[in-house]
Amino acid sequence: KQGAVKCSSCPVQCEILEGYLGACRRYQNVNGQLVRNRKLVTEVSQDGPLITAVGAGTNYPCCRPAPHIVQDTVDGVEVVTVVTEAPLSYSGVKVKIDTNLYIGEEGSKVKREGKVVGMVDTEEYGSKMLSVGGANLLTGQDGFIVARTIVEIANGERVKLKVEEGSALELQVGHPPVINGVEDTKMRVGCGSATIGMFAAHLKEVVDEAIILDHHVVGLLSEHLAGEAVSMSWSGVIPNARKSTRGRYFGEPGHGWGGTSIESPEVAIKSVDMSVAKVGIKILVTETTAQKAALFRVRN
C-alpha cells in the first residue's frame, strides 16, 4: 500500500500506514519510520542487568542480532546484557485469583467463548491460579482468541472465562473476582490452622471451641497447639475432616463454607465425645474470613 512501511520485527510482516500501529500495537509509522511506541526501560537495581527488555522491540529472523546489546564493567567484571521482547507466540500469563471459592479441579481446561485458552494450575500463596496461553495454544486453531485473552487480561480489561466442569469467572486485574456471579471481596490471610494461631487468645474469650473451615487445613481451637498456648485442652469436639496433626485437619474442596464441601455449618461437627465434653459448651463454626459463622451449644 502506498505510504505503508513493512515491519520486519516478526513473521507477520505488517504493512503499517502513516500514523497507524501494527497488529502487536508495539510499532507505529511516524513519518515513514517505524518507531517502538514505548521507551526502553533502563532503570534497574544496582545488582541487576544493565538494561531491561521492556520497550526493547524485536528482530526477525533469528539471524539478525538483538535490538540492544550493551556492555560495561561492573566491579572489575565485564558484563554484557542482550535484550529482546518476546514474540507473542511464546507468550502466556499466570493469573492469580484471590478467592477461597472453588473454581474447579486443577488441570481442568479454561475456556472463553467455548474455546480452550488455558488451564487451572496448582494453587500458590493460598490463591487459585490459571495458566493462560503458551506456545501450543497460541499456535493452535484458536490462537487468535487465546492471544486476545492474554492481551486483555494484561491490559486490565474484564474477561469472562469458564472452567470445564467448574465455575464461571469474571476477572479483571485490580478488582475482586466474580465467581459464578458472586463478587468475592475478602481473601483469607492463612488457612484454618493459621487463623487459630493468630486469634486463639481472642477466640478463647468468647467460645469454648472453634472450627475454622478452610479447603486446605481446617483448624480446631482446643486441640491446636495455639489453643494449648492459651491454657485450653481438647473439648471433645471432632470436626468433619481428615486429621493431619494436632488441631489440624485436611479440608475437602467444594462450593461450601471456606471453599470446602461443607455447605451447612452443623455438618462441620462430626461428633462430640461426651466423656470429655461438658454440657453447655459453645462451639463456633466459621470460615477464615468470618464471612459466615454459626454458634452451637452442646446439650445432653
* pLDDT tens for each residue of 69-110: 999 988 888 989 999 987 666 689 999 999 989 999 999 999
- Please say if the pLDDT value at position 258 is more than 90: yes
The backbone torsions φ and ψ at residue 192, rounded to the nearest 5 degrees and listed phi first, read: -60, -35
- Please say if the pLDDT value at position 243 is more than 90: yes
Judge contact between 169 and 97, C-beta under 8 A: yes
Single out the residue of 136, 71, 69 nearest to residue 109, CA to CA. 136
| 293 beta partners | 286
* pLDDT tens for each residue of 158-190: 999 999 999 999 999 999 999 999 999 988 888
pLDDT at residue 89, as a whole number: 64
What is the rounded CA–CA span in Å between residue 194 and residue 192? 5
Burial call 272-291: b when 16+ CB within 10 Å, e when fewer:
beeeebeeebebbbbbbbee
* pLDDT tens for each residue of 269-295: 999 999 999 999 999 999 999 999 999
Judge contact between 50 and 72, C-beta under 8 A: yes
pTM of the complete model: 0.73
Tell me the domains of the chain and their CATH numbers.
Answer: 89-183 (2.40.30), 192-297 (no CATH)
Return the number of other C-beta atoms located less than 10 Å from residue 80's C-beta.
Answer: 10
* pLDDT tens for each residue of 55-74: 898 888 888 899 999 999 88
Q: Note the residue count of the chain.
A: 300
Return the number of other C-beta atoms located less than 10 Å from residue 35's C-beta.
Answer: 12
Q: What is the chain's Cα-based Rg?
A: 27
What is the rounded CA–CA span in Å between residue 176 and residue 182? 10
Judge contact between 117 and 123, C-beta under 8 A: no
How far is the first Cα of the chain from the last one, in angstroms, to the nearest whole number?
88
